[in-house]
Structure 1
Amino acid sequence: MFSEFDEARLDDPAVLADYDDQLRRLATAGARIRSEALDARIPADLTMTPRGVIVAGAEARLIRAVLEPVCPVPLIAWPLPGLPGWVGALDLVVVLASEAEGYQSPALMATVAEATRRGAQVMLAAPEDSPIAQMISSQAIQVFTRSDDPTAAAVAVLAQLHNAGLGPIVNTENAAEAADMVAEESTPHRDLSSNPAKDLACALADADPLLWGGSVLAARASRRLAEAIRAASGRHALAADADEILEVLRHVKPHDPFADPFTDEQQRRTVLVILDDEHSGEAEQQSGRSLRETAQRSGVRICEIGAGQGSEVDRYITLLMQGLYGATYLAIGLDGQEGRLGADG
C-alpha cells in the first residue's frame, strides 16, 4: 500500500499555511536574483583575457552548460579540492559559495587559497563577511551574495562573465521576471483548476516519473527536478538521456484499471515528464517525438513543462521553478508521508 495523495490539501488554507516557508522561498526566487545582482566589485584596472576558466562550487555545472557553447577559451567544472596542476597566473578561477556548505567548505577554501597562491584571477560569489571571502585579494572579482540561493548567485556570476566577454548575454532582471511569472502562475492562492504546478503534482501523485529535458539546460533542470521529487516523496525519479528513457518505456507493464488497491499488489504508474525547450535543435526535437510516440504506445501518461521565451538562462529558470513548485505541491498532497517512511528515493 502506498501513502494516499489528497488533492484537497492543495487548496486547503490551513494545510498551505503549514508549508508557508517552502512556498514563500519559491515565491521570492525572483527577488533573490535581483538582490544578488546588485553588489559586484571589479578591480578598475582589470583586463579579462584568461587562458582558461575553472569553475568550482554550487551550480558549477550550470555555469559550464551556459558558457560552453560560446566561451572563447577552454572551460571546466572542477569538483575536487585545490586546482588542476596546469592552472596558473593566466587563468580565471570562479568559485560559487553562497551557501554555508560552500563558504565554510574546506575544499572550496583550498581552491581559493591555491588560486591565490598561483596568481590566478579569482571570481568569488559568497557573503562579504564569510570566511572564504576573507581569503581573496583586492584584485579578485567579488560578487557578494545576500542569500543562500545558489541559482541566484549563479545568475549574478553569469552576468559578470558576460561582461568579461566569456559568455552569452545574461539579463538578471529578465531572469528574475521569469521566476516571478512562474510564482504568479503557481501561487497557492490559485486553485487546482488553474494552477499548472498543482496539476503537475496530481499527475505525479501515484507515479514514478521519468524526466527528460530537450536541451542541455533543460536536461540540467530535469535532474534538479528529479532530486526535488525524491526529496519530497521518497520515491524513485529518474532523469536521463532519451535513449535510456526509451529503453525503460519499452518495458513498462500496462496499468490495470480494474486492479483492487486493497487486495492486488500495486505498482506506481510510470509518467513521462518532458521539460520542453522549444529552442532545442533538430536532434533533440526528434528525440522528443520518439519519447512521446513510445510513451503513447506503452500507455504512459505524458506531462509537459514548457520553457517559454527569453534567453537560455530565462528558460532554465522557468523550467526549474515550475518543477520545484510541482514537487512542493506533491509533498503537500502526500503530507511528506512517504519521505518520512524512508522509501527508496
Structure 2
Amino acid sequence: MFDDALLDEEAALARADATLRELAEAGARVRVDARSATEHQGAAPQDLSPRAVVAVGAEARLLRAVLEPVSPVPFVAWDRPSLPAWASSLDLVVVTSSGDAASRAAVAEAQRRGCMLLVAAAPHSALAEDAAGRWTTLLPVVTADPLAACVAVLQALHAAGLAPSTDAEGVAGCLDAVAIACSPFRDLGSNRAKQVADAVGDAQPLLWGGSVLAARAARRWAEGLRRVAGLPTFAGPATDLVPLLESAGPRDVFADPVDGEASARPRLVVLDDGSDDPRVRAERGGLAGAAERHDVGVDTVAAHDGDALGRYAALVATGGFVAAYVAVGLGL
C-alpha cells in the first residue's frame, strides 16, 4: 500500500538518494556531452549531403520525432537487425548507443556498404573503434546518457545543414528547472512529482500525450513506472485510453484500502507540452469528458518552457522523479 508520509520522510528519501541524484544531474550530463562533442569532433561535417538519413540505436525514434517534420532529406529510425536494403554510400547512418551488439553490427554493415557514419560514442570504446574510418564523424560523449548523446548528434546534424539549431543549454536549463521543482527537499504540498506519485501510487496509471513528443514522453513514463515501481501502467493514444476509462466501474466509497478491500482504479495522467494543435485539444477534451463521466481522477503535468526538445526532456525528467517517489511511497 502506498504511504504518502514516506515522501517527506528523511530516512525513506535517503534510501532513494542515488536515483534522485542521477535524475537531478541530467542537465549537467547534457552540458558535458554537448561540450565534449563540440570540442573534439574537429571540423564540422559541413560537406555531408546524403540522399537519406538512417538513425539506429538509443533514441533513434526521438531523433526522427524531432527531425522528420523539418529534415531536408528522408529520415528513418531503424530498429531491425540489419540496415535497409537500399542504404549505400549515398546515405548517412547515425548511431547513438552505449555499444550494444546491434549498434556495432549496424556500424560494421554501414562500413561494408560505404555509408557515411555519424557516431556518438565514448572515446576508445569498442563502438568508437569499430566506427573509425574515412567516412566517419565521431562525437565523443562521456556520460552514457542517451538524451545527452541525442543533443550532441542534433548539434552535429545542424552543422551539416541537416537539422535546425539545437540549444543544448536550453535543454539543460529545462532539466535543471525540473530538478529544482521536484527536489526531495520540497515537500508534498509544493512538489508536483510527489503529488502525482501520491495520486498514482495505488492506481492504474493511464498516460497520454497529444503531440508526437508528448506521446513519446508518456511511453517513457510508463516504462519507468513499470521498471522502478512495478505499477501496471499503460500509455497510448486517446482511441485506446477512452475505452479503458469507460470500462472503469463505480467507485466503492465504503471500501477500506487499509484492509485491501479497495481495488486499484484507473488514473489518467495528461502530459501537456503546450501543443495548440486542434486535434490534440479535441482528444484531450474527449479524455477529460470520459474521465469525468466515470469518476476517474485526472492529473496534468505541463512543460511549456523552452523549445520542443526541452519540453520533451522536462516531461521525461518529471516522469523519472514520479517513478522514484512512487517507489519511495511503496517502500521499495
* Aligned partner letter, 2:280: E
The equivalent of 1:67 in structure 2 is 67
Q: Using the alignment, how far apart are the partners of 1:18 and 1:291 within structure 2?
A: 37
8 Å contact from structure 2 (residues 174, 305) kept in 1: no
> Where do residues 122-137 of structure 1 align in structure 2 (5 Å cutoff)?
122-136=117-131, 137=133
Partners of 2:46 and 2:161 within 8 A in 1: no
Q: Point out where structure 2 has 5 or more consecutive residues left out of the alignment.
A: none
Instruction: Describe the SS at the equivalent of 1:274.
Output: strand
Separation of aligned partners in 2, 1:179 and 1:293: 32
Code of the residue aligned with 1:176 in structure 2: it is A
TM-score, normalised with respect to structure 1:
0.92
1:186 aligns with 2:188: no
Moved more, 278-287 or 257-266: 257-266
Matched with 2:20 is 23
SS in 2 for 1:37: helix
- More deviation in 156-165 or 115-124? 156-165
- Describe the shift of the 1:44–1:252 C-alpha distance in structure 2 as closer, same or farther (beyond 3 A): closer
Residue aligned with 2:306, SS: coil
Q: Cα distance, 1:265 vs. partner?
A: 4.5
Tell me the alpha carbon deviations over residues 74-116 of structure 1, each in whole angstroms, 9 at most, x when there is no partner: 111111233111111110000011x3xxx1x222111111111
Contact 1:112 1:135 in 2 (8 A): yes
Deviations 1:101-136 (A, max 9, x none): xx1x22211111111122211010110111010022
Is structure 2 residue 305 aligned with structure 1 residue 325?
Answer: no
Q: Of the candidates 226, 230, 235, which is equivalent to residue 234 of structure 1?
A: 230
Residue 50 of structure 1 corresponds to which residue in structure 2? 50
Matched residues in 1 for 2:75 and 2:22: separation?
32
**Pairing 1:7–2:25 present:** no
SS in 2 for 1:200: helix
Q: Is contact 1:66-1:167 (8 Å) kept?
A: no
Q: Please list, as runs of the form range in 1=range in 2, the aligned pairs for 1:172-211 lying within 5 A after superposition.
A: 172-211=168-207
Are the aligned partners of 1:197 and 1:322 in contact in 2 as well (CA < 8 Å)?
yes
Identity of aligned residues (%): 45
Amino acid at match of 2:106: T
Offset of 1:210 from its aligned partner? 0.5
Q: Return the match for 1:121 from 110, 116, 125.
A: 116
2:86 corresponds in structure 1 to: 86
Instruction: Establish whether residue 112 from structure 1 lines up as the match of residue 97 from structure 2.
Output: no
- Structure 2 residue 143 is the aligned partner of structure 1 residue 147: yes
- TM-score, structure 2 as length reference: 0.95
Quick one: distance in 2 between partners of 1:157 and 1:264? 49
Cα offset, 1:316, TM superposition: 0.1
Find out whether 1:271 has 2:233 as its counterpart. Answer: no
Q: Give the AA of the match of 1:130.
A: S
| 1:339 aligned residue | none
Q: Does 1:35 find its partner at 2:46?
A: no
How many residue pairs end up in the alignment?
Answer: 328
Q: Which residue of 2 aligns with 1:341?
A: none
Letter in 1 for 2:130: M
The question of whether the paired residues in 1 share the 8 Å contact of 2:229 and 2:324 is answered with: no
Deviations 1:283-323 (A, max 9, x none): 11110111111111111100001011221101101111111
Q: Distance in 2 between matches of 1:38 and 1:200?
A: 34
CA change 1:333–1:51 in 2 (3 A) is same
How far apart in 1 are the matches of 2:3 and 2:22? Answer: 23
| Paired position in structure 2 for 1:305 | 301
User: CA separation in 2, counterparts of 1:219 and 1:45?
Assistant: 32
Q: Decide whether aligned partners of structure 1 residues 213 and 15 sit closer, same or farther in structure 2, where only a CA change above 3 A counts.
A: same
Which amino acid in 1 is paired with 2:95? V
Q: Bigger shift: 133-142 or 225-234?
A: 133-142
Maintained 8 Å contact 1:308/1:318: no
Distance 1:138 1:172 in 2: 28
The one-letter amino acid of 1:243's match is T
Q: 1:44 to 1:202 in 2, by over 3 A?
A: closer
Counterpart of 2:286 (choices 290, 296, 305) is 290
Structure 2 contact 44–159 (Cα < 8 Å) conserved? no
AA aligned to 1:129 is H
| Structure 2 residue identity aligned to 1:210 | L
Unaligned runs of 5+ in 1: 337-345
Letter in 1 for 2:102: A
Is 1:215–1:280's contact at 8 Å kept on the other side of the alignment?
no
> Structure 2 vs 1, CA of residues 7 and 261 (structure 1 numbering), >3 Å: closer, same or farther?
closer
Report the equivalent of 1:342: none
Contact kept in structure 1, 2:203 and 2:267, CA below 8 Å: yes
| Alpha-carbon separation, structure 2, partners of 1:220 and 1:234 | 20
Shift of 1:263: 6.2
* Bigger Cα displacement from structure 2, 134-143 vs 144-153: 134-143
Q: Identify if the C-alpha distance between structure 1 residues 64 and 16 changes in structure 2 by more than 3 Å, giving closer, same or farther.
A: same
Aligned-partner SS, 2:268: strand
